[in-house]
Each structure stands twice: as structure tokens, then as C-alpha cells.
């Protein structure tokens, strides 16, 4: 039998092949106790359903429901011993998880218990197998995989020591992925909280949280009193795009980024009749399918030649000096976003008037305080990006190792 492409040093023996049903001492199905019997759902036995499992998360399942012993005895569900593997075979086929505690499941699961090979290795080998099963049934009328079909599938495994090395290595990657995901989510929550606390709310003249040394009241000024608007690309057909020496800021760039990402541009021919964007300009989306997504904003970070704005946004050019980062984040605060949602008009598609946007007031502190606030939120976004990037890199590594550390 051939060897995997990537293997730990010191291991040379051939891998064995067995049917999946041969590596588990017991298998368990599942069921759903009567939902009309409230007493069934007041116990302490975790009862998992497909939606409790997250794709690619093979550990740390957090059940949302618990059932009683009576519910187990009076339904098709079974009490599964700890250290088993729960596999979704119907709705959500392809998901699975190692369960370190005893549990019960819905009818969408088959659980393997009393494993004869290393549990960590097994859960990754099964994950790789179930991805293939999921791809086979996707887009077909087949709703899942039967118990007999699953238990007849072949699993190939090495010696016990090599199993342990592979399982521990992949689990360590998963732990790192979880760590960066958690830090990313925590930083996003902190950013959301600070966007509410570091800008004045409900007519207040100062924010609740403020850097030391700043005491002056903030001003409220209308956007229209501090700048003017311009239009995005006009007079173009689809044949004009995808080539040329000019670039334009895309709609998704504006929608996704408080500060525009200059890598998210597309080509267009140079046209002297169009408005070129400049550093400090603000771009607003004018249309969306939901009112909550209208009027999303992005600030141009630097000057560059021959860059235009897409035709589904309008530009705003301040005539007064702002800190670029402050302007980017004050326009993403919850209070400003509520103003944009209120101004959105439409039925199946919502639009916003740039004249109405110009009537909206924003809070403005001194330039020094703007700089401190803007830099703080820029740093938070940098942290979010770093954690997300690291998470993506680790996921790619895990995918590569899953493809090359198994036969």
C-alpha cells in the first residue's frame, strides 16, 4: 500500500485498511423525544442536533438542549458514552465531532463508540472521508448516507504511535485556529462597544469614554456645511470596463472597508470627463436591497493618479481639515448608521439622496482628539485583520495537511 505524501520521521510501516464498522465496538442512532412533553426537556443529558455542529469544528460542541433519562427511555434516542464520535448522516451530512461527554442525538446522527484506534486520528480521518461523502450527495436527490453505507466505507490507518502524532498535530492546528478566531471576535466586540462609547450619543456634547487631556465640548456640524459632493462614473457601458490604464473604487470596496482598500479596484479607460478621487474623499453607497446597507461609507487613504469612483456611489470632498481615520470611523458609528437607514427609501430596492445625507450632522472634536480616536480604531482594525489572516493561513495549512497526511 502506498504511503502518505507527508509523514513524520521514524515511521515506515504500511498502513492498515478496515471497514469503518470494524473500528468501533458500538454504534448508536438517535431520535427526537416528544417536544410536547416539557418534562422530557428539563433533564441534564446533552441532546445534540445537526445545527449544534459547526463545519470544520471537530471539537468543543456546545449543545443547546438537554433531555431527561425518561426522554431517552421513551423515545428512539440513545445515551451515547463519552469519547465517541457523532457523525451527521442526514441533514447537514459531512459534519462530525468528537464528544468527550455522554450525550444523546437527533435522528440525523450515527455515533461510533468504543473506538479501537486513536480518537483524534479517527476524527480527522472521518472528517476527510465525510467531505467526500458530502460532495457526492451535494446537488443530488440523495438526502444523506445510510448507516450500512457508512459502516461499509474503508478507513486506512497507521500504527498507534503514528496515529497519535497525526491526531495531536492536527488538533494543535485546530486549537490555534480557534484561538485566533476567538481573539478576532473579541476585538470585533470591543470595536463595536467603543464605537458606541467614544462618540457622543443622544445629543451629548462629549463621549462617555475619552482620552486623558481632552476637555472641550465636541461640535455638531452638517456634512453639507463642510464639503461638497460629486458623482461616480457616468456614461459607461459594460464594454468600457476590464481594461485600460485607469482604476475605479468598487462598490464592495466602499461597502466593506471604513478606509478604502486600493487593492480592491478594477480597470477602466482613462477619461478626463470623470471625477478623479483624492485623499480624504468619502464615498457613500447609494443603493442596496436592504435599508440597513444603504449609505455605507469609505474614506480614500491617499492620492493616486487616475482613480475614479464606481457609478453606484457618490463622493464627498471635505473643504475643512479632518483626520482621515476619525472621519472613516465616525461615519460607521451606530448613530450615523441609524440616520442612513432612516433616510433610505424604496420597496424592493432602497436608495438614498445625497442631498439628504448632506443634512446629517456628525460630532467633531479638535484635530488632536480626532487623531487619537482615529488611530485607536485603526489599530483595532489592524488587529482584526491580523487575526483573520492568521486564521485563514492556518486553515489552508490544515486543508493541505489533511490532503497529504492520509492515504
CB 94, CB 132: distance < 8 Å: no
pLDDT at residue number 347: 84
Residues 149, 187: one domain? no
Residues 386, 338: one domain? no
The region of weakest confidence among 78-82, 140-144, 243-247 is 140-144
- pLDDT (tens digit per residue) in 261-300: 999 999 999 999 999 999 999 999 999 998 888 999 999 9
335 within domain boundaries? yes
Residues 123, 193: one domain? no
Residues 265, 348: one domain? yes
pLDDT at residue number 320: 95
> Can you tell me the distance from the alpha carbon of 157 to that of 286, in angstroms, rounded to the nearest whole number?
57
Residues 41, 141: one domain? yes
3-state secondary structure of 321: coil
Give the whole-number percent of the chain exceeding pLDDT 70. Answer: 99
49 within domain boundaries? yes
6 within domain boundaries? no
> Can you tell me the distance from the alpha carbon of 141 to that of 222, in angstroms, rounded to the nearest whole number?
57
Segment 87-94 shows an average pLDDT of: 87
> How many Cα atoms within 13 Å fall on the side-chain side of residue 170?
31
Mean pLDDT (the chain) is 94
**Going by C-beta distance under 8 Å and a sequence separation of 6 or more, which residues neighbour residue 177?**
391, 394, 395, 398
2 within domain boundaries? no
7 within domain boundaries? no
- Alpha helix segments (H runs only) across 258-366: 324-330, 334-343, 354-357
Residues 205, 236: one domain? no
Give the whole-number percent of the chain exceeding pLDDT 90. Answer: 87
3-state secondary structure of 66: strand
Q: How confident is the model at residue 145 (pLDDT cuts 50, 70, 90)?
A: confident
Q: What pTM does this model have?
A: 0.84
> Can you tell me the distance from the alpha carbon of 362 to that of 225, in angstroms, rounded to the nearest whole number?
11
CATH code of the domain in which 314 resides: 3.90.220.20
Domain that holds residue 272: 219-363
pLDDT at residue number 141: 58
> Can you tell me the distance from the alpha carbon of 215 to that of 136, in angstroms, rounded to the nearest whole number?
64
- pLDDT (tens digit per residue) in 11-63: 999 999 999 999 999 999 999 999 999 999 999 999 999 999 988 889 989 99
> Can you tell me the distance from the alpha carbon of 259 to that of 332, in angstroms, rounded to the nearest whole number?
11
- pLDDT (tens digit per residue) in 171-219: 999 999 999 999 999 999 999 999 999 999 888 999 999 999 999 999 9
Q: How confident is the model at residue 393 (pLDDT cuts 50, 70, 90)?
A: very high
CB 284, CB 311: distance < 8 Å: no
pLDDT at residue number 138: 64
Residues 331, 312: one domain? yes
pLDDT at residue number 224: 97
Q: How many domains does the chain have?
A: 3
CATH code of the domain in which 184 resides: 1.10.287.1120
pLDDT at residue number 91: 80
Amino acid at each position: 500500500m502506498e504511503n502518505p505524501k507527508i509523514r513524520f520521521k521514524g515511521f515506515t510501516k504500511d498502513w492498515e485498511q478496515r471497514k469503518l464498522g470494524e473500528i468501533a465496538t458500538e454504534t448508536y442512532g438517535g431520535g427526537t423525544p416528544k417536544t410536547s412533553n416539557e418534562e422530557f426537556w428539563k433533564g441534564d443529558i446533552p441532546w445534540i442536533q445537526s445545527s449544534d455542529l459547526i463545519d470544520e469544528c471537530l471539537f468543543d460542541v456546545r449543545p443547546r438542549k438537554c433531555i431527561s433519562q425518561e426522554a431517552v427511555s421513551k423515545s428512539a434516542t440513545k445515551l451515547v458514552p463519552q469519547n465517541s464520535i457523532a457523525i451527521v448522516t442526514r441533514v447537514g451530512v459531512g459534519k462530525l465531532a468528537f464528544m468527550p461527554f455522554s450525550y444523546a442525538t437527533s435522528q440525523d446522527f450515527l455515533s461510533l463508540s468504543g473506538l479501537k484506534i486513536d480518537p483524534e486520528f479517527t476524527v480527522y480521518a472521518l472528517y476527510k472521508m465525510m467531505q467526500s461523502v458530502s460532495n457526492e450527495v451535494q446537488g443530488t436527490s440523495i438526502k444523506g448516507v445510510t448507516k450500512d453505507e457508512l459502516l461499509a466505507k474503508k478507513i486506512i490507518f497507521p500504527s498507534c504511535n503514528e496515529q497519535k502524532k497525526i491526531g495531536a498535530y492536527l488538533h494543535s492546528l485546530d486549537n490555534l485556529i480557534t484561538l485566533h478566531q476567538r481573539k478576532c471576535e473579541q476585538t470585533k466586540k470591543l470595536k463595536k462597544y467603543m464605537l458606541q462609547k467614544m462618540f457622543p450619543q443622544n445629543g451629548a456634547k462629549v463621549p462617555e469614554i475619552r482620552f486623558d487631556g481632552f476637555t472641550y465640548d465636541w461640535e455638531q456640524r452638517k456634512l453639507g456645511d463642510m464639503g461638497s459632493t460629486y458623482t461616480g462614473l457616468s456614461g459607461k457601458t459594460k464594454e468600457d470596463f476590464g481594461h485600460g490604464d485607469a482604476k475605479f473604487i468598487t462598490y464592495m470596496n466602499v461597502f466593506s472597508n471604513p478606509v478604502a482598500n486600493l487593492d480592491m479596484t478594477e480597470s477602466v479607460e482613462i477619461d478626463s470627463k470623470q471625477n478623479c478621487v483624492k485623499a480624504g474623499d468619502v464615498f457613500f453607497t447609494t443603493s442596496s436591497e436592504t435599508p440597513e446597507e444603504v449609505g455605507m461609507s469609505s474614506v480614500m487613504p491617499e492620492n493616486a493618479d487616475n482613480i475614479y469612483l464606481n457609478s453606484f456611489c457618490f463622493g464627498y470632498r471635505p473643504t475643512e481639515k479632518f483626520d482621515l481615520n476619525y472621519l472613516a470611523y465616525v461615519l460607521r458609528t451606530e448613530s450615523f448608521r441609524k440616520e442612513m437607514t432612516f433616510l433610505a427609501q424604496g420597496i424592493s430596492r432602497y436608495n438614498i439622496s445625497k442631498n439628504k445625507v448632506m443634512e446629517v450632522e456628525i460630532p467633531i472634536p479638535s484635530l488632536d482628539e480626532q487623531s487619537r480616536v482615529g488611530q485607536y480604531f485603526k489599530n483595532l482594525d489592524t488587529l482584526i485583520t491580523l487575526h483573520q489572516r492568521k486564521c485563514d493561513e492556518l486553515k489552508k495549512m490544515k486543508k493541505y495537511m489533511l490532503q497529504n497526511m492520509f492515504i
